């Protein structure tokens, strides 16, 4: 992946500016990659698979092969030959069976990100390894009170997670509402990034990019560049947005349209919140209502500064600064024309979110996310960065944290490094209590919580319903693969 130049970057004021700079393609690419992309086509959505009578059975075949990407044929990874993989529409209480077939050259497995399901056996067990040429039958049993929301699935085999997601292995999971939210139209938008060579294969990633957390030269929506969306004035659309990027933060704007946020991750607000922009760290999801106004609007991601490694790498004056999308990127274009649509009824009030602030805490812990210069076997500096939690890199044979089933714990997530780290805990969501020393006024539930550089966040977790081993880690996936992950056991 080559550095982006100002010429190739997009932080533009509208569709006309896009056409001027990129020939109406609306592209963001790495200089010199040579891949001939095309954008502006109508938005395509992944295949939709719906549960019926409380069950869904699906086969996911992970393979390297020809896929349609950015309007051209490319050689990338995919589930079932499509980018993204199929969207799974589920109901609370469902039983879901997934046969994962590994047609890759490396081991893989499957993580159902954000779902509150068992981490044991053949459920959301990230310690499973599915070897090349083999398959594995997963089974997930959703609780009858499982929160509705936007979730996703992706590989989680330690050491290959970043490569496999970057290469194209991801798909959406939607847990439906009851009663449904009245909308004119629903859209699933899976945002990812990738870099391709001139012949359409996945570009190599340098050691420096892995240390910083790679960002691809193309930002895709459902595998497309700047897809076109159409609506009538006054329609209420529901956009379920997933940040499936390996490291890129997304600060989303859709100027000129009315935006209301239903919730982030598995968290849901009691009533929609008016917003102008939505910030998604890698792994975060947004459930967004868009009430359309006449005209053309551009969905864009704005620059996000996520830290600097200049001093750690021998630089000076802030060298090594990393912005997610250095100049922003156009993601999609919405055209609103025609006669106004009939109004819809109000959004039903959501249940009052659970609030652990008044709940007695059974234990308090501190997790320190750190980056430092590694040592070689002779005790000399290796020049490579180490990525640790509480001073130790991940070891699948070591349980780092043991919690009693049913406990309510308060964790301080402390980041001593000069880069942001989005922290993800499997199985159990986290209620954010305090950020940068300031209390959070209302219940906020997320399963990916961003911890800014040299800062801390305090969360509370209720270890309900399940026992077993799972993990917590940085969701900048190169950092996870490099050791910034811990093993937790509830028992």
**Residue-wise pLDDT tens digits, 291-308:** 999 999 999 999 999 987
pLDDT at position 150 is 98
Rounded to whole angstroms, how far apart are CA atoms 113 and 150?
10
DSSP string for 172-227? EEEEPPSSPPP-SEEEEEEEEEE-B-TTSBBPP--HHHHHH----SEEEETTBBS-
pLDDT at position 322 is 56
3-state secondary structure of 331: strand
Task: Could you please state the CATH topology (level 3) that the domain comprising 363-490 is classified under.
Answer: Immunoglobulin-like (2.60.40)
- Pair of tokens at residue 350: 């959501």
pLDDT in tens, 331-383: 999 999 999 999 898 998 888 999 999 999 999 999 999 998 764 334 444 55
Pairing between β-strand 401-403 and β-strand 48-50 as defined by DSSP bridges: unpaired
pLDDT at position 38 is 77
3-state secondary structure of 20: helix
Judge contact between 488 and 401, C-beta under 8 A: yes
Strand partners, 130: 108
Closest alpha carbon to 287 in 249, 306, 261: 261
H/E run at residue 287: strand 285-291
pLDDT at position 181 is 94
Helix segments in 293-432, DSSP class H = none
Closest alpha carbon to 79 in 98, 97, 55: 98
Q: Please state, in angstroms and as integers, the Cα–Cα distance from residue 388 to each residue in 81, 165, 484, following that order.
A: 36, 22, 5
3-state secondary structure of 26: coil
Query: At 465, phi and psi to the nearest 5?
Result: 75, -35
pLDDT at position 3 is 32
pLDDT at position 102 is 98
Pairing between β-strand 135-141 and β-strand 95-103 as defined by DSSP bridges: antiparallel
CATH of 15-36+181-336, one of 3.80.10.10, 2.60.40.420, 3.40.50.970, 3.40.50.11890: 2.60.40.420
H/E run at residue 149: strand 149-154
pLDDT at position 372 is 87
Rounded to whole angstroms, how far apart are CA atoms 440 and 428?
19
3-state secondary structure of 74: strand
88-119: b (≥16 Cβ within 10 Å) or e = bbbbbebebebebbbebeebbbbbbbbbbbbb
3-state secondary structure of 164: helix
3-state secondary structure of 478: helix
pLDDT in tens, 202-259: 999 999 999 999 999 999 999 999 999 999 999 999 999 999 999 999 999 999 999 9
A 10 A CB-CB count for 185 gives: 15
Pairing between β-strand 87-90 and β-strand 48-50 as defined by DSSP bridges: parallel
**Distance between the two ends of the chain, CA-based, in angstroms?**
44
376-400: b (≥16 Cβ within 10 Å) or e = eeeeeeeeebbbbbeeeebeeeeeb
pLDDT at position 44 is 95
A 10 A CB-CB count for 300 gives: 28
pLDDT at position 378 is 42
Helix segments in 102-173, DSSP class H = 161-167
pLDDT at position 326 is 52
Which residues, 6 or more positions from 132, have their beta carbon under 8 angstroms from its beta carbon?
102, 103, 104, 105, 106, 107
pLDDT at position 312 is 57
Q: What is the largest CA-CA distance in the chain?
A: 74
Which stretches in the chain have pLDDT values below 70? 1-34, 310-327, 374-384
Q: Please state, in angstroms and as integers, the Cα–Cα distance from residue 445 to each residue in 2, 66, 149, 281, following that order.
A: 37, 39, 12, 14
3-state secondary structure of 390: coil
pLDDT at position 329 is 86
- Pair of tokens at residue 118: 């068992």
Judge contact between 404 and 490, C-beta under 8 A: yes
Pairing between β-strand 95-103 and β-strand 55-69 as defined by DSSP bridges: parallel
Q: Which CATH superfamily is domain 48-175 in?
A: Cupredoxins -  blue copper proteins (2.60.40.420)
CATH 2.60.40.420 domain residues, the chain: 15-36+181-336, 48-175, 363-490
Rounded to whole angstroms, how far apart are CA atoms 353 and 364?
22
Judge contact between 460 and 434, C-beta under 8 A: no
pLDDT at position 315 is 43
Rounded to whole angstroms, how far apart are CA atoms 310 and 371?
13
Judge contact between 278 and 252, C-beta under 8 A: yes
Helix segments in 2-64, DSSP class H = 15-22
Closest alpha carbon to 306 in 443, 175, 170, 451: 451
Rounded to whole angstroms, how far apart are CA atoms 191 and 224?
9
């Amino acid at each position: 992946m080559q550095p982006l130049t100002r010429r190739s970057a997009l932080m533009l004021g509208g569709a006309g500016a896009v056409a001027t700079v990129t020939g109406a393609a609306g592209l963001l690419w790495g200089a010199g990659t040579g891949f001939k992309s095309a954008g502006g086509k109508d938005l395509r959505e992944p295949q939709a698979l719906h549960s019926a009578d409380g069950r869904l059975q699906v086969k996911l075949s992970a393979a390297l092969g020809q896929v349609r990407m950015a309007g051209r044929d490319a050689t990338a990874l995919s589930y079932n030959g499509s980018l993204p993989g199929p969207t799974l529409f589920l109901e609370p209480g469902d039983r879901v069976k997934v046969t994962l077939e590994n047609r890759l050259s490396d081991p893989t497995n499957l993580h159902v990100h954000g779902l509150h399901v068992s981490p044991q056996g053949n459920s959301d067990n990230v310690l499973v390894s599915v070897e090349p040429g083999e398959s594995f039958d997963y089974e997930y049993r959703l609780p009858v009170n499982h929160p509705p929301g936007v979730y996703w699935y992706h590989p989680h085999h330690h050491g290959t997670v970043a490569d496999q997601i970057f290469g194209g292995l991801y798909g959406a999971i939607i847990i439906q509402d009851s009663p449904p939210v009245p909308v004119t139209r629903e859209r699933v938008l899976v945002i990812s990034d990738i870099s391709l060579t001139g012949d359409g294969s996945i570009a190599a990633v340098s050691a420096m990019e892995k240390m910083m957390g790679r960002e691809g030269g193309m930002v895709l929506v459902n595998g497309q560049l700047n897809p076109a969306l159409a609506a009538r004035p006054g329609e209420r659309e529901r956009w379920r947005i997933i940040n499936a990027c390996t490291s890129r933060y997304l600060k989303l704007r859709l100027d000129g349209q009315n935006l209301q946020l239903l919730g982030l991750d598995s968290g849901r607000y009691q009533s929609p919140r008016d917003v102008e922009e939505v910030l998604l760290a890698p792994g975060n999801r947004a459930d967004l209502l868009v009430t359309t106004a006449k005209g053309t609007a551009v969905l864009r991601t704005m620059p996000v500064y996520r830290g600097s490694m200049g001093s750690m790498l021998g630089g000076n004056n802030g060298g090594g600064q990393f912005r997610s999308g250095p100049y922003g990127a156009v993601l999609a274009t919405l055209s609103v024309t025609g006669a106004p649509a009939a109004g819809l009824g109000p959004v039903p009030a959501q249940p009052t979110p659970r609030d652990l602030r008044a709940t007695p805490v059974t234990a308090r812990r501190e997790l320190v996310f750190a980056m430092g210069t590694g040592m070689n076997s002779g005790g000399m500096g290796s020049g490579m960065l180490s990525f640790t939690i509480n001073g130790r890199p991940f070891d699948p044979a070591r349980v780092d944290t043991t919690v009693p089933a049913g406990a309510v714990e308060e964790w301080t997530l402390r980041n001593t490094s000069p880069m942001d780290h989005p922290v993800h805990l499997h199985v159990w969501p986290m209620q954010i209590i305090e950020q940068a020393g300031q209390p959070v006024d209302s219940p906020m539930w997320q399963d990916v919580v961003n911890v800014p550089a040299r800062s801390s966040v305090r969360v509370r977790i209720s270890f309900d319903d399940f026992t077993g081993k799972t993990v917590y880690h940085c969701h900048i996936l190169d950092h996870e693969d490099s050791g910034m992950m811990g093993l937790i056991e509830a028992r």
